[in-house]
Structure 1
Amino acid sequence: MSRDAQRTVGPRVPEPVRRVTALSADGATLHAEVFGPEGAPTVVLVHGWTCSIAFWNEQIRDLARDHRVIAYDQRGHGGSPHVPGGYTPDTLADDLEAVLRTTLAPGERAVLVGHSMGGMTIMAASRRPAVREHAAAVVLASTGFTDLPRNSTVIVMPKGRVHTFLTRQILTSRLPLGPVTPVTKAALRYATMGPGTSRERIDTCARIVHACPTKARHAWGAMMSTLDLTANVRAMNVPTAVIAGHADRLTPMVNARGLVATLPNCVGLLELTGVGHMSPVEAPEAVNDRIRDITTEYLPSKEAAA
């Protein structure tokens, strides 16, 4: 799906003031877009597995009115090409560092917001120099840091080796998703969204997810199937807010509670009743309000700072 096509998915968003290509440590290129006024508090949005910049359309439309918003496509997603190999937690960290170095001035502070694998990206990069330099605070939405297959409730059966094995098969599947149909939308809604999600929002997520290339979906799913970022989470001294939905099957509430217990500087858990895994799309007002609260508290406007 081209970026022009992505702009028609979900709410309309403003044109970016700047498009940027960041070069990662292994030479991979990453497509990034910058929205909003210069001099405003800066928010960096990091999307999750099988998504793209378009996933953040609700956040970009709202926040870019009075924030500088930077969003990028993870490698293999959206406008960032798939490259052979290099799908590891360290690669996630390399890519985030590259985007921060490319889009932010030296010493410039920002709030980093990650959803799902985007949250894992920030956690993976917690000890990286660019994150320590630029992150004033972090928001982690619908994510986890260890035991993802075991904690998942997509497959309804007693926890154990069989449950974990089957969940890993879903994460690492090489089967193409095919076109968006009523059946595939129903499956996606079951796995990733709460029961009250509107048809429009289900359709938005389906179009984004189905646009993800199979190779990237498999490669990143395999990475997440064995992920353990415990040491990285323990090293996250930056103020970190957590958001989680009670109807999340991919990263259930146990993951959020684990984060709250492990983060050295957690500044609160926002629990969203009836919301599944796609919290920024399902509950944009609540997510946007939390991002605004965090930027107000930890990232004063550049004019005020001057």
Structure 2
Amino acid sequence: MSAIGGTVYDLTGPEGAPAVVLIHGLGLNRACWQWLVPELAARYRVLTYDLLGHGQSAAPPSKPTLRTLSDQLSVLLDQLGMARAAIVGFSLGGMIARRFAQDHPARVAALGILHSPHRRTPEAQAAIVARVEQAKAEGPGATVEAALVRWFTDPCRAANPQMMDLVRSWVLANDPAIYPSIYRILAEGVDEIVAPEPPIAVPALVITGDEDHGNGPEMARAIADEIAGAEVLILPGLRHMALAEDPPSINRPLAAFLDRHLGAGA
């Protein structure tokens, strides 16, 4: 563990190898990548870090935006001397990855966009805004149990109480005074990254589960439609946190994609 400018991060894998950055989702922290890092760190320089207001990183400004979180990554890469990297983002992290690709196209070697939103229906938008207001009024604990239902299939939750406790603990560790401001970015920041102009023009892999109803197949396809040549993978029988419930379903295709476009596996 190290820190730069209030951002706490881990850097693993061989020095000089192609860089891969992993960006976690709302309410989580860099530990959510524990199922993927070993797969990648044998051949890539893998950077994981805590978003502002999450984990061990510093609090964000009082009114953070998606650009705030893109800038956090830019500063971190500058300080680490990483001119270019593949950027992989989960959920909110996938939004940050797209924002970063718009802000710094020359610095992105490839994009992995996992379970991340596109523009929502009015009903879905109203539902997520209501969750933001609930979190603001009652704290992260008010939304975490419903989140676990959205994130994991019923059999997984029943069979893996320790995993549920772990993920629950990550969410509950968030500062109630900060969490709603980041949640609002997830709810309202999508418009910044829909139909980017100029379009994103890097290799991209977009993955979601067919039971991830908040970030479903239609959203994955809409994201991919805006990135020339983007690949789409829909995981059958999985919800939002496939990366924890069924790690190989994410690890294998993502590693193969990175090997094709970064060359480490060639």
Say whether the fold is shared (TM-score over 0.5): yes
- Unaligned regions of 5+ residues in structure 1, if any? 1-15, 24-28, 151-158
User: Kindly tell me: are residues 104 and 289 of structure 1, through their superposed partners in 2, closer, same or farther at Cα, counting changes over 3 Å?
Assistant: farther
Please state if 1:112 is matched with 2:74. no
CA distance in 2: counterparts of 1:110 and 1:283, whole angstroms: 26
Tell me what 1:30 maps to. 7
CA distance in 1: counterparts of 2:214 and 2:126, whole angstroms: 15
CA displacement at 1:57 relative to structure 2:
0.9
CA displacement at 1:288 relative to structure 2:
1.3
CA displacement at 1:146 relative to structure 2:
2.4
CA distance in 1: counterparts of 2:219 and 2:257, whole angstroms: 21
CA displacement at 1:166 relative to structure 2:
3.8
Helix, strand or coil for the counterpart of 1:140?
A: strand
Tell me what 2:220 maps to. 256
CA distance in 1: counterparts of 2:151 and 2:197, whole angstroms: 24
Helix, strand or coil for the counterpart of 1:238?
A: coil
CA distance in 2: counterparts of 1:89 and 1:47, whole angstroms: 14
CA distance in 2: counterparts of 1:142 and 1:226, whole angstroms: 17
CA distance in 2: counterparts of 1:251 and 1:88, whole angstroms: 20
CA displacement at 1:145 relative to structure 2:
3.1
Tell me what 2:206 maps to. 242
Please state if 1:55 is matched with 2:16. no
Please state if 1:100 is matched with 2:77. yes
Please state if 1:165 is matched with 2:126. yes
Tell me if the contact between 1:82 and 1:216 (Cα under 8 Å) persists in the aligned partners: yes
Question: What are the superposed Cα offsets for residues 257-305 of structure 1, whole Å, 9 maximum, x if unpaired?
Answer: 2112222231x11111111111211221121112211221111249x9x
User: Kindly tell me: are residues 79 and 297 of structure 1, through their superposed partners in 2, closer, same or farther at Cα, counting changes over 3 Å?
Assistant: same
Helix, strand or coil for the counterpart of 1:97?
A: helix
Tell me if the contact between 2:44 and 2:264 (Cα under 8 Å) persists in the aligned partners: no
Tell me what 2:147 maps to. 188
Tell me if the contact between 1:30 and 1:75 (Cα under 8 Å) persists in the aligned partners: yes
Please state if 1:215 is matched with 2:177. yes
Tell me what 2:229 maps to. 265
CA distance in 2: counterparts of 1:100 and 1:145, whole angstroms: 26
Name the structure where helix makes up a greater proportion of residues: 2
Give the paired residue count: 259
User: Kindly tell me: are residues 242 and 280 of structure 1, through their superposed partners in 2, closer, same or farther at Cα, counting changes over 3 Å?
Assistant: same
- Unaligned regions of 5+ residues in structure 2, if any? none
Aligned-residue identity in percent: 25
What TM-score, normalized by structure 1, do the two folds share? 0.77
Tell me if the contact between 2:202 and 2:227 (Cα under 8 Å) persists in the aligned partners: no
Partner letter of residue 132 of structure 2? Answer: L
Tell me what 1:89 maps to. 66
Rg: which structure is higher? 1
